[in-house]
Structure 1
Amino acid sequence: MANKFYPKGAEKILGGQVNFTTGTIAVAIVATGYTYSDAHEFLSDAGTLVGSPVVLAGKTVVGGVFDADDAAFGALAPGSTAKALVMYRDTGNPATSPLIAYLDEITGFPFNTNGGDVSVPWSDGPAKILSLV
């Protein structure tokens, strides 16, 4: 599968309910048991997460392209398989935190956790994390 916006997340972006520069935008690692669905709307739909989500810092929106500092998840307990990332606007409650995008075209994914630190370096290419152009 390719990186993809969640339809409800796209509605929220176009409706002005998600602001990438001022909102709390986070990413979470989903395990192999998660299957993307266009019907998923909130973080609670993503099932069991691998490790704790990371709030993105250093966010920028330039020319229709979203970028941020690399995401550092720290040490992840061994025994899980990290499948992809989900990006969402964090409201503090998984049941109301809207999913924005499913990101599975990330270098190094999928991978098995082994207790080591995990950092996700975003692309330095023209699309960065997300691009609307």
Structure 2
Amino acid sequence: MANGYFTPFTEGILDGSIDLDTATVKVALVRGYTFTATHRHVSDVTSGGGTINGTSAALTGKTVTGGVFDADDTTISATASAADHGLLVFQSSAAGGGADVAASSQRLIAWFDTGTGLPIQPGTGTVTITWPAANPKILKVG
């Protein structure tokens, strides 16, 4: 198990194809996935053995300050009673926002499966995702 940022995420920040404060950003519960830094799209996760077991609504209260990305805590409705889920953070829309695009175009940002409360054992029902209050919050670039 390993937490990490996807390499194409940093490229997307630099070329403008990922915009954390304008685009729609979501988080999903995923099981059966082994982090691969070179993965670019949500479809890479699912074709790489990951099963999505619920996705949040668009993150609200997003801020990008001092290289730190944060948002309000969120919830995910888990649909299956399975163990050992990680959290997949991804941009579900185009960089300028709007409706969700196909999974083959949704850009990966970060993977978390190690830390307090991780991996998640959701059962079925609602899982609350509480982001850290101190840096790096959701993530820190630089």
TM-score by length of 2: 0.82
Q: How does 1:105-124 map to 2 (within 5 A)?
A: 105-124=114-133
Give the superposition deviation at 1:82.
3.9
Partner of 1:80: 82
Unpaired segments of 5 or more residues in structure 1? none
Give the superposition deviation at 1:96.
0.4
Amino acid at match of 1:118: V
Distance in 1 (CA, whole Å) between partners of 2:36 and 2:2 is: 13
User: Moved runs in structure 1, 4+ residues, more than 3 A?
Assistant: none
Partner of 2:19: 19
Q: Is the 8 A contact 2:2 2:35 kept in 1?
A: no
Amino acid at match of 2:85: K
Distance in 1 (CA, whole Å) between partners of 2:79 and 2:26 is: 20
Partner of 2:35: 36
Unpaired segments of 5 or more residues in structure 2? 94-99
Partner of 1:49: 52
Distance in 1 (CA, whole Å) between partners of 2:115 and 2:73 is: 12
Amino acid at match of 1:51: G
Give the superposition deviation at 1:26.
1.2
SS of residue in 1 equivalent to 2:57: strand
Distance in 2 (CA, whole Å) between partners of 1:82 and 1:71 is: 19
SS of residue in 1 equivalent to 2:12: helix
Partner of 2:105: 96
1:97-125: per-residue Cα shift (whole Å, max 9, x none)? Answer: 11111122342111322223200100011
Q: Is the 8 A contact 1:42 1:96 kept in 2?
A: yes
Amino acid at match of 1:73: I
Q: Is the 8 A contact 1:3 1:105 kept in 2?
A: yes
Q: Aligned pairs, how many?
A: 131
